[in-house]
Chains A and B, each alone.
Chain A
Amino acid sequence: MSIEAREARQPWILLSPALTAVTLLLFVPLMFIVVYSFWLRSAVGADTMGFHLDNWQRALTDPFYRYILLNTLKIAAITTVLCAILGYPAAYFIARSRGNKLLLLVLLMLPFWISYIIRTMSWINILGTSGALNSALMSLGITSEPIRMLYNENTVILGLVHFLLPFMVLNVFVSLDGIDTNLEDAANSLGATKWQAFTQVTLPLSLPGLAAGGLLCFVLAAGTYITPLILGGPRDAMFANLVFEAIITQLNWPMGSALSLLLLFVLGLLVLVYNRYLGMSQLTKGLG
C-alpha cells in the first residue's frame, strides 16, 4: 500500500471504535425504540410486535400528557429566564473584572463539579420544616410554627436554576470574554453613555453566548425527572417523570418509547431552530 493510502486510512482506524460505540449504543437504539413504540404491551410475556398506532394516539391526544408536556415547557422556560437574569450579570462581572478572572470563573463553576443529587437535596436543609430558613424565622420570633416551603413547583424551579446556572454563566462568559473592550471605549468616546454602549454594543455581541446557555438550560431542564422527585410534590411531575413511570413502574415499554420519542422530537425541534440561526459551534465552544 502506498504511503498516501495508509495516511488516508489512519484517521478512520482511530475513529472506528468511537463511531462504532455511538452507532451501536445510541443511533441503532434510537431507531429501535421508534419501532418499539408501535408495538403493544401485553400483560404477560413479551410485548406484541406489529404496527399499532395506539401508543402514539394516546401520547398525542391524552389531555393529561398534554398538560404535563406544556407544564414542563413552562417550567423549563421560567428556569431558563431566571438563569439568564442571575447568570448574565455574574458572567459580565467575571469577564470585566480586573482581578483573577480564571479564579472567579473556577469558583463559580465549582458547584458544577459537586454532585447533582447532593446539590438538589441540599435545599431540603435550607427550606425544610427544620431547615435553616425556618429555624432562623422561628428564633427571630417572626413565625411561631415552621412554614411549609418545600415540595411545590417553585422549589422544583429553584432546584433547576441552582443546577443549571453554571452552564449559563460559562456560555455567556465565553462570548463576553471574546469581545474587544476597545469597542465599548470607542462607543463611549463617540458620546454614548456607559449604558448605551452596553445595550448597543456589548449586549448584541454577547447574544450568541446567551442563546447557547439558554438552549442548554432549557433542554436540560425539560429532560429532568430527578429534581421533581426530590423537590416537587406529588402533582409536580414533569414529562420525563411520565417516561420513568411508564418504563420502570408500569413496565409499559412501548408506551415509554412513544413518550421518550415525543420528548426527543419537541426538544429536537428547538435544537434545529437554534442550529438554523446560530449554528452548533457556539455550543461546543462553551463545553470545551
Chain B
Amino acid sequence: MGWQLIRLYAILVYGFMFLPVAVVVLLSFNDSQFGAFPMTGFSLRWFEALWNNDAIMRAFRTSIVLGLMTAVISTTLGVLASLALVRYRVPGRNLITTMLIAPILVPEVVLAVALLLFLNFLGIGKSFTLLLFGHVIFTLPFVILVVQARLVGIRRDVEEAALSLGASPRQTFFSITLPLLMPAVAAGALFAFTISFDDITGTLFWKPGGVETVPTQIFAMLRHSISPEINALGTVMIVLTVGLPLLGAALARRMAMKRGG
C-alpha cells in the first residue's frame, strides 16, 4: 500500500516537471494564429516564421559561437586543473578545489556585477569579450566537477606501463592518457556548451546593446507579448539541449563498445 502511494506521488512529480514543457511543444505545432489554446490544427508555420526571423537567427549564431568558444577554453582549463588535482598530491588540495568551484558558490548576480565593474574599470566594457570571460568563469566549476569525477575512474598503471616500456611522458600523454581522457573531455565540453547556451542571469549584465543570445532574445520577446514563435523556439531549444547530451552519451557508449571496453 505505502509503496503504491509513493509511486503515485512520484508519477505526479514527474507530471509536474514535464507537463509545462509538453505544452510548449504541443502549442508550437498549433495552427491558431495566437499560438494559444484551443488547438485548431497541426502546422509548421511557426517554425517557418522562426527560420525567417532575422533577429532570432542572429541570436542563434551568437549563442553557438559563444558556447563553442566557452566550451573550448573552459574545458582546456578544467581538464588541466582536474589532472593536477586527481593525479598529483597537491598541498592544500581542498582549498584549491574550493577556490576553483567558488564561481558557483557565489550567487551569479554578484559574480555578474563584480566582473562587469572590474573589467569595465580595466577598459573592457560590455562586449563579446566580457561575455566570453563571464561564461568561461561561470562554466569552469561545472567542467572541473564533471571531469574530476570521470578521471578518478582511469587507472594509473596503464600510463606507468607505457612509461616503463620506454615511452616519453609526452608520448604517454598523447597516445595513452588523452584517448582515455576523451569521454571526460567530451562530457566537460558538452556541459560547458549547454550551460553557456542557456545562461541568462549573467548574460543580461554583460551583453552589449544590440547583441542578443537566444535566452536574452526570448526574454526580450516575452516582454512584449507571448508570441507563438516563442513556443517554436522553445521546442527547438528543448531538442537541442536534451538531444545533444543524449547524442553525446550514445556516441560515447558506441565508441567504448568499439574499443571492446
**B65: CB under 8 A from chain A?**
no
Evaluate contact between A18 and B77: CB separation under 8 angstroms: yes
Given contacts A132-B23, A288-B145, contact A247 B241 (CB under 8 A): no
Residues in A neighbouring B194, C-beta threshold 8 A: 113
- With beta carbons under 8 angstroms apart, the residue of B90, B102, B115, B234 that contacts A115 is B234
Binds A, one of B50-58, B175-183, B214-222, B250-258: B214-222
Partner of B238, one of A22, A114, A165: A114
Give per-residue flags for A263-288: 1 if the beta carbon is below 8 A from chain B beta carbons, else 0: 11001000100000000100010011
Contact present for B16 and A10 (CB under 8 Å): no
**Which of chain B's residues 48-94 have a Cβ closer than 8 Å to chain A?**
76-78, 80-81, 83-85, 87-88, 90
Q: Is A117 a contact partner of B107 (Cβ separation < 8 A)?
A: no
A47–B114 Cα gap in the complex (Å)? Answer: 16
Interface of chain B, helix or strand or loop or mixed? Answer: helix
Q: Which of A86, A117, A122, A230 contacts B20 (CB 8 A)?
A: A122
Interface flags for A243-258 (1: CB within 8 Å of B; 0: not) read: 1100110000100110
The reply to whether B113 and A257 contact each other, CB–CB distance below 8 Å, is yes
Alpha-carbon distance between A286 and B70 when the two chains are bound, in angstroms: 24
Q: Does B19 contact A (CB under 8 A)?
A: yes
Q: Report B188-238 residues with CB < 8 Å from chain A CB.
A: 194, 197-198, 200-201, 204-205, 214-215, 218-219, 222, 226, 230-231, 234, 237-238
Using a CB–CB distance below 8 Å, which chain A residues touch chain B? 7, 10-12, 14-15, 17-19, 21-22, 25-30, 32-33, 36, 86-87, 89-90, 92-94, 107-108, 110-111, 113-119, 121-126, 128, 130-132, 134-135, 139, 162, 165-166, 194-195, 219, 222-226, 229-230, 240, 243-244, 247-248, 253, 256-257, 260-261, 263-264, 267, 271, 280, 284, 287-288
- Show 23 A/B contacts (Cβ-Cβ < 8 Å), sorted by A: A11-B85, A17-B76, A17-B80, A21-B77, A22-B102, A22-B137, A33-B114, A94-B10, A110-B17, A114-B237, A114-B242, A116-B215, A117-B200, A119-B20, A124-B226, A132-B23, A162-B16, A223-B108, A223-B109, A256-B117, A257-B117, A263-B110, A288-B148
